[in-house]
Each structure stands twice: as C-alpha cells, then as structure tokens.
A and B are shown apart, each in its own frame.
Chain A
Amino acid sequence: MTGIETRLADVDQALADSAPLPRSNGELVFDEPWQGRALGMAVVALEEAGVPWAEFSRQLGAAVRRHGYDRAEPAADAYYAAWLDALEETLRRAGVDMP
C-alpha cells in the first residue's frame, strides 16, 4: 500500500524549498475544512494526471509570492488560496483544459 504518510512525506519534500505545508508542532494546520480537502484534491489529481510534485512546487512557490504569503508566519488561509492557483496552473500546463 502506498501509505498516505509516504505520499505526504513526498509532498513535504517537494515543497520544502518553495512553500512547506503549514504545520504547527509537526501537525498539519488548516483553518477550514476545504483546505484539507484542497490538499487531498491535489494529491489525487496530480497522481492521476502524472504530474511530478516538483512542477506543482514551482507553481506554488510563484503563487505564494503573489499572495504575499509569509513563511515566517504561515497562515493557512493565504497558503491554500495560493494552493488553488498553483493546482489550476499546474493542471493547465499539463494539458488539462481549464477555464
């Protein structure tokens, strides 16, 4: 079984340099349930589309800068707003027809 821990570890590693998942005391932080769902959505969609996390990581890095996300004060709200941008852009570049 591909454990979610393994998959999350991969995600953590891929995002370490661009924009690490907001965590507190090691635990994932979400301000609202949709943010947790957005993380799950990316895990499933990127896997299905065969897009490497490194590509998503690049997009996410650019998106968090646009959203003025501050790594020193990780606010899940701003982070997952950027996350949606990055997911859309990554899929668009992978050839998925996005509006």
Chain B
Amino acid sequence: MSDHHHDHDDGHHHPRPRSELELRAEALEALLVEKGLVSTDAIDAVVELYESDIGPQNGARVVARAWADPAYKERLLANGTAAIAELGYGGDQGETMVVVENTPGVHNVIVCTLCSCYPWPVLGLPPTWYKSAPYRARVVAEPRAVLREFGLELAPETEIRVWDSTAEVRYLVLPERPPGTDEWSEDELVSLVSRDSMIGTAIAVAPEPTPVA
C-alpha cells in the first residue's frame, strides 16, 4: 500500500512560458503594492469571495451526474476529459482531465507541488491555500495530518492517494455519495458537492434529516 502516488514528470508544469499578459498583470500588482494602493491580502480576500461564484458548480454537476447515472460514471472514470465535455465543460488549454474515485478504502487528494495547476474548467479559481507552499509540500509528506487540519479524520486503514497535477494533467476527485441520499435527484445532489470535496480536503456530506415537528 502506498500513501503517495507521485505522478508527474519534472519540468512539465510549465511547458509554455507564462504568457506576457500574466507577467504584465503580476508586474502591475507588484507596482500597486509598492505604491500602497493594494495589498496582496486585500486582493486575495476579494478573489476568495468570488471564487465560489464560478466553477465549482460545474464540477458539482459532473459529480452529481456520476452519482445519479452509473453509465456516465463509467465514462467519466474511463475518460474524464470526454465525459466532462459531454456536459459542456472543458478547458481551451488542452489539458487532460483525470477523475479519481474515492471508495470505502481509498481517499484521493489533489495538489500541484510545483505551482498551482488546478482543474479550472470544473472548479474555477483555486483557493488561496491550494497555492500556498505549506499545503503543496505537506500534503505530500504528511497527507493524513494535513487532512486532519481540514477537519477530515480518515480511518487509519484508509489508503490516501495524492495526485500531483501538471499543466497537462488535471485531477478531479469523485467523492463518495453520502449515505441516505438514494432518493435524491441529480439537482439536489449538486448541493452536496463542495469544492473541497472535489479537491479531496473534505468529503461530501448530507445534512442531518430534520425531525418532523
């Protein structure tokens, strides 16, 4: 049993130089920080607030479809890129999407150890912690401890697989369908799929049934 599937080819994180525009945006930010007009934290805070506004819904839709439709799930695990495109989502950067499935004995978590490769088209903007050096280093070295800090306590016998994203290959975690949701429609299931559950730092949970008054 391995605690870590380290799956990247060195040097593949940046097959292209970063775009001129990206460099220009970084330079502008640095200048405005220097002038005291913005702080990196203030921008982070704004980005963090609207990052939940984009993207994760696409991934949640993919997951809910896979839970509701076994044939779709099979296609999704066999060829993530094609199955995600079926729902109209996809990158224009040509990256391959690989979907890794959580099962009772296996928990998956994604990271980009070298930079911040992220399954954009389905998850939107990466959260700030995903790009932080501590997460990138520690989730590989001590995934169980890192997940515990996210409030996720896994059984000791659960195997943890860490997937290192690259510019070519982006991973998406297919969380386990929460128990007690057999009667739920696909639309209802979407609401259970959080961004973090598709990164692997959380699991999908159904709310406690409300007692009938």
Contact = CB atoms under 8 A, between A and B. Distances in A.
B29 interface: yes
Contacts of B54: 27-30, 36
A7 B192 CA distance: 27
Nearest to B131: A33
B137 interface: no
> Which secondary structure dominates chain B's binding surface?
helix
A98 B28 CA distance: 9
Contacts of B29: 37, 41
A31 to B, nearest CB: 7
B19 interface: yes
What is the interface residue range for chain A against chain B? 35 or more
Contacts of A84: 21, 24-25, 28
Contacts of A88: 28
A81 to B, nearest CB: 5
Given A41-B28, A44-B38, A45-B32, A4 B22 contact: no
Nearest to B29: A41
B120 to A, nearest CB: 8
Interface residues of B, number: 34
B78 interface: no
A90 B46 CA distance: 20
A43 B37 contact: no
Contact of A27 (B22, B25, B38, B57): B57
A80 to B, nearest CB: 7
Contacts, number: 89
A83 to B, nearest CB: 9
Contacts of A49: 37
Given A33-B126, A36-B125, A96 B28 contact: no
Nearest to B25: A34
A85 to B, nearest CB: 10
B21 to A, nearest CB: 5
B32 A36 contact: no
B35 A31 contact: no
Interface in A30-53: 30-41, 43-45, 48-49
B49 A38 contact: no
A49 to B, nearest CB: 6
B108 interface: no
7 contacts: A8-B53, A30-B120, A40-B44, A41-B28, A44-B38, A80-B25, A84-B24
